[in-house]
Amino acid sequence: MKFTIDWLKNHIDTKFNNNQIIDKLTNIGLEVESFESFSSELDTFIVAKIINAKTHPNADRLKLCDVDIGSGKTIEVVCGAPNAKNGLLTVYAPPGSIIPKNQMKLSVSKIRGVTSYGMLCSESELLLSNESDGIIELKNNKYENKIGEKYFKNTSEKVIDLSITPNRPDCLGVRGIARDLSAAGAGKLKINKKSNLKYRGNQNINVTLKKEKVQGCIAFGSCLIKGVTNKESPKWLKDKIKSLGQKPISAIVDITNYVMFDLNRPLHAYDADKIDNEIIVRNSSAGESFEALDNKKYILENDMCVISDRSGILGLGGIIGGTRSGTEYSTKNILLESAYFLPRSIRKTSKQLNIDTDAKFRFERGIDPLSIEEGLTKASELIKQICGGEISNLDVKKIENYKKTIINFDPFLFEKTTGFNVENKELIKILEKLGFNVSKNKRILKLVVPSWRPDITQSIDIVEEIVRIKGYEHINTSEPIKTRLKPTLNYYQKLFHFLQRSVASKGYLETVTWSFTDSKINQLFRENDEEIPIVNPISSDLNVLRNSIFPNLIFYLKKNLDRGFKDISLFEIGPAFKGKNPGDQLTVIGAVRAGKISRLSWNDKERIVDTFDVKKDVIQSLCESGIDKDDIVIDDKTPSYYHPGKSGGVYQNKNEKKALAYFGEIHPNIIKKLDINTEGLVIFEICVDYIKESKQKIKDSKSEYKFSDFQKSERDFAFIINKNFKSQELVNIIKSADNKLIKSVRVFDVFEGENIPEGKKSIAVNVTIQSEEKTLNENDLDNINKLIISSVESKSGAKIRS
C-alpha cells in the first residue's frame, strides 16, 4: 500500500513530523517497508572535483581529467571543455545517466583511444542555461564539502510503502490508515464532508442479482452519469496516481482508482452505451469467455460470479472488467458500479483463473459492506467536477443485509493476556477512535464492531487492538520460567546428535541437501519404495521426495569431483521418505567416501578406499553410540545399489531381522550411469530409527567389573576351508568351543591360490586363551587346542593346515 504524507493529511490533522508518523505506523502494526522519493533521472548527476587535468595523448584539444567523485573514488574522464582545470568543482554524469538536453544515455566509451567513464557537464546540457562553452564551474565555498552528493535536489514527494497484513483490509485505503494513526494519538481524524450532490433522474439500466446456489455478489450499487467529457486527469490527480506507482489513464479510470485507494472502496465504470439493455449478476457456465481489461481472453468455469448483459459477460465481479464495456476518451455516459462481493467467491475465481488485481486483493480480504453509497457519491462528485455530467439517483440491489458483529468484552482478558493493565477509560477511548460503538454493562463492555473490520470476531481480537494501539513497549519483560516438564531430548534425539558427531569425527563433512531430488537418480536407489512425486516441483530435476539420501549425496559428490577434489568424505543425516503419508519417513545417515587413503604421502603407501574402510567407520560409529560390538552380526544381503560381492548388512544382534546399516562399494552400473570419475567409491548408511534402545541404562550396566590376572596364552591356527565359508562363522565356531577360556579370536591372514586347492581358502586366526581361575598348564592348552580343531573341522568341514 503506497501513499504520500500529503494524501494522509487529507484525512488527519496531525502535528507529527514525517519521522514520527513513520515510527507510529510501524509501532501499531502497519509496517513501513520504505519511505522514499520516486527515483528521478536527475539523481545520478553528482558534484565532482577535477584533481588533475592533462592533455589527451592523441588530441590536443581534449583533456584527460582525474575526477574525484566522492567516497574515495577517482575516475578518468575525457573532456573537451577549455575551462577544465585542476581543482575545478563541476557536475559529473556517470555512465547510465540520461543527459536532459538530448535524452542520450551515457555509456563507457573510448574517445580517441582513451576510455572515458562518464562526462563532465555544461549548463546547456543540463538545461540550466544556454551556456555551452565550457563545463559548469561550481562555487568553492558552497560545493567544496559536497563532492559525491547529488547536484539536483529531488523535490518529488516522498512515498510511504506499507506492508499490510491480510487481516487489515481497512488499511488498504488511506482513510483507514489515518483512522489507526488517530487512535494511536497521532492526530484527529477529519470528518468526511457532507455531500451536497444533486441527483437527477433514475438509474434506468435494470440490475438483477440472479438467484444462485452461491451468489458471490450480495449487494450491487450503481448510478448513471450522463453527458461526461472524459479527458486527461488534472495534475493533482495524476500525481496521486503516480505516487501509487501507477500510470494515469483517463480521468474516469483515475477517479475510480483514486477512490479505491482513498477509501478502500473498489469501483468500476462502464461505458453505459455499450451495455446491452440490462445488468445481470449471475454465475458463469463452463466455457463462457470474455476479453478482460488486461487484454487477455479468459475462458470461465462453472459458478464464477460475473457481471453480464444480454449479449454476454461484461466482467468478473470484483476482479476485472471487460474491454467490451470499457470507458474511453469518447465515452459520453457511464454506469458506475459499487458492489460487495464475497471474499471466498473472489478468492476461488481469481485462483482458478490466476488473476491478481487491486480490486481482487481488496474484495478477497473484505471490503466495508456499508461503503457502497459513500464510494458512489465520492466518485460521482469528482467525475462531475472534472468531466461534468448529470448524476442519477443511486440504485442499490441487495440480497442480504449487513449484520453487526457484537462482542461482550471483559477487560480482565486484556491484563490476563498481556500481563499489564490499561485503565478502562483509556481502553474505551482507543476502541471508540477505532470506530467501535462501546456501551457498558457493569464490568463487561458491549462492543459493536465497525463494518470495515471483518477481522474482528471475538474478545481476543479486542485485546490485540488495544495492545497494538497502546504499544508493545508497555509489555513487561518477565524473567524466563525455568520449570522443566520432561527431559530435553528423548533416546532417538540423543542418538541422532550422537551419531551425527560420531560420523563427522571419522573425517566426514556433514552436508544438508534438499528433501527432494531428481526422479531419474532417485530411481537408482528407490528399491521397492513407492515414488513420491511433487505435484508442483520447483524444477523438473527436483520432482520427487527422496527415497534415500544417496541420490543427492552422489549428485553432489560428483559435483565436487568435477570441481577437482579427489578424496571426499561426505555425509548427511535426515529424512528418507518411504511413502507419501505423514510419518512415512525414516531418519537415515548416508555417507560416501571417494578417492584414496594416504594420497601423496611421503611415508605411507597410498591405496584406494575400500569396503573395510567404511565398515570400520560404520561399526565404530555404532559402537560409540552404545551398541555392543560383540553382538553385531554381518551378512552379505544388501540393496541393489551396492556391489553384490563387496557389501554387507549390519544387524544389532543375531535375533534382529532388519539390518540397521549397510556398507560397501557402490554398484559399478551406477558409477557408469551417473558418469562419476573417481578411483574408488564406497558408501554406508545407518537407519537411526532401526536401532533398538538398550534395556539397561549405562548406570545399570556398569556395575560389575571382572578381569583375570592369570597368564594368558596365544595360539595360531590355519584352516583350509571352502572359499565361500564366512570368517564370521569360523570365529563363532572357535569361540563357542569354549566360551569361558577363549577370550578373543582374530583373523590375521586370508589366502587363496598357490598350494591351496581350487575352491578353498586358507584362514589364519590368532586365539587368546585365558582362565579366570588358574594358570593353564601345557596339558590344558593342548586340550583346548584339540577342541578348537575338532570343533572347526566337524562344524565347517575345514581342515587344519599342517
Among positions 586-615, residues that touch other proteins (CB under 8 A) are 597-599, 601-604
Name the segment binding other proteins (CB under 8 A); options: 252-260, 421-429, 538-546, 794-802.
538-546
- 414 touches 332 (CB < 8 A): no
Name the segment binding other proteins (CB under 8 A); options: 442-450, 467-475, 647-655, 780-788.
467-475
Residue 477 in the binding site for other proteins (CB under 8 A)? yes
In 371-458, where does DSSP find H-type helix?
372-387, 412-418, 424-433
What angle (nearest 5°) sits at the alpha carbon of residue 173, between those of residues 167 and 177?
75
Other CB atoms within 10 Å distance of the CB of residue 682: 26
Nearer to other proteins, 260 or 463 (CB): 463
Structure-block grid coordinates of residue 35: 519511505
Residue 344 in the binding site for other proteins (CB under 8 A)? yes
Nearer to other proteins, 167 or 785 (CB): 167
Name the segment binding other proteins (CB under 8 A); options: 218-226, 319-327, 497-505, 623-631.
497-505
Smallest gap from Cβ 211 to other proteins, in A, equals 22
Please pick, from the candidates 354, 401, 441, 488, the single residue that binds other proteins as defined by CB under 8 A: 488
Of 247, 243, 238, 261, the C-alpha closest to 35 is 243
Residue 468 in the binding site for other proteins (CB under 8 A)? yes
> Within 736-795, which residues bind other proteins (CB under 8 A)?
none
Please pick, from the candidates 236, 329, 412, 420, the single residue that binds other proteins as defined by CB under 8 A: 420
Residue 511 in the binding site for other proteins (CB under 8 A)? yes
Other CB atoms within 10 Å distance of the CB of residue 361: 18
- 147 touches 99 (CB < 8 A): no
Nearer to other proteins, 586 or 787 (CB): 586
CA distance 507 to 391: 82
Q: Long-range contacts made by residues 493-501, C-beta under 8 angstroms, separation at least 24?
A: 495/625, 495/688, 495/691, 496/573, 496/587, 496/688, 498/624, 498/625, 499/573, 499/589, 499/621, 499/625, 499/686, 499/688, 500/573, 500/589
> Within 251-290, which residues bind other proteins (CB under 8 A)?
none
> Within 28-67, which residues bind other proteins (CB under 8 A)?
28-29, 31
Nearer to other proteins, 310 or 344 (CB): 344
Smallest gap from Cβ 763 to other proteins, in A, equals 30
Other CB atoms within 10 Å distance of the CB of residue 274: 19
Smallest gap from Cβ 579 to other proteins, in A, equals 9
In 703-752, where does DSSP find H-type helix?
727-737
Residue 214 in the binding site for other proteins (CB under 8 A)? no
Residue 467 in the binding site for other proteins (CB under 8 A)? yes
Count of residues for the chain? 802
Binding-site residue total for other proteins (CB under 8 A)?
Answer: 100
Three-class DSSP labels, 224-259 = EEECCCCCCCCHHHHHHHHHCCCCCCCHHHHHHHHH
Nearer to other proteins, 227 or 533 (CB): 533
Q: What is the DSSP string of 540-562?
A: GGG-EE-SSSHHHHHHHHHHHHH
CA distance 663 to 506: 15
CA distances to 304, 596, 599, 607, 608 from 604, rounded to whole Å, are 77, 12, 8, 9, 13
Smallest gap from Cβ 140 to other proteins, in A, equals 33
Binding mask 375-414 for other proteins (x = CB under 8 A): ----------------------------------------
Nearer to other proteins, 363 or 717 (CB): 363
Name the segment binding other proteins (CB under 8 A); options: 207-215, 369-377, 560-568, 656-664.
560-568
CA distance 336 to 223: 5
Residue 182 in the binding site for other proteins (CB under 8 A)? no
Residues 6+ apart with CB under 8 A from 759: 722, 723
> Within 292-321, which residues bind other proteins (CB under 8 A)?
none
Q: Is 609 helix (H, G, I), strand (E, B) or coil?
A: coil
The angle that helices 611-624 and 491-504 make with each other, rounded to 10 degrees, is 140
Residue 19 in the binding site for other proteins (CB under 8 A)? no
Please pick, from the candidates 509, 562, 631, 653, the single residue that binds other proteins as defined by CB under 8 A: 509
Q: What are residue 544's DSSP bridge partners? A: 517, 533
Please pick, from the candidates 2, 9, 22, 27, the single residue that binds other proteins as defined by CB under 8 A: 27
Please pick, from the candidates 110, 512, 707, 759, the single residue that binds other proteins as defined by CB under 8 A: 512
Nearer to other proteins, 476 or 779 (CB): 476
Q: Which is it for the CA torsion 92, 93, 99, 100, positive or negative?
A: negative
Residue 487 in the binding site for other proteins (CB under 8 A)? yes
> Within 440-459, which residues bind other proteins (CB under 8 A)?
458
Nearer to other proteins, 558 or 761 (CB): 558
Smallest gap from Cβ 468 to other proteins, in A, equals 4
Residue 563 in the binding site for other proteins (CB under 8 A)? yes
CA distance 169 to 369: 12
Name the segment binding other proteins (CB under 8 A); options: 111-119, 124-132, 343-351, 670-678.
343-351
Nearer to other proteins, 148 or 575 (CB): 575
Residue 355 in the binding site for other proteins (CB under 8 A)? no
The angle that helices 235-243 and 251-263 make with each other, rounded to 10 degrees, is 50
Please pick, from the candidates 10, 167, 694, 766, the single residue that binds other proteins as defined by CB under 8 A: 167
Nearer to other proteins, 483 or 724 (CB): 483
Please pick, from the candidates 119, 447, 532, 688, the single residue that binds other proteins as defined by CB under 8 A: 532
What angle (nearest 5°) sits at the alpha carbon of residue 452, between those of residues 474 and 31?
45
Of 700, 698, 518, 666, the C-alpha closest to 594 is 666
Please pick, from the candidates 66, 301, 358, 510, the single residue that binds other proteins as defined by CB under 8 A: 510
Nearer to other proteins, 496 or 641 (CB): 496
CA distance 19 to 9: 14
Nearer to other proteins, 143 or 363 (CB): 363
> Within 316-335, which residues bind other proteins (CB under 8 A)?
none
Nearer to other proteins, 87 or 507 (CB): 507
Other CB atoms within 10 Å distance of the CB of residue 406: 11
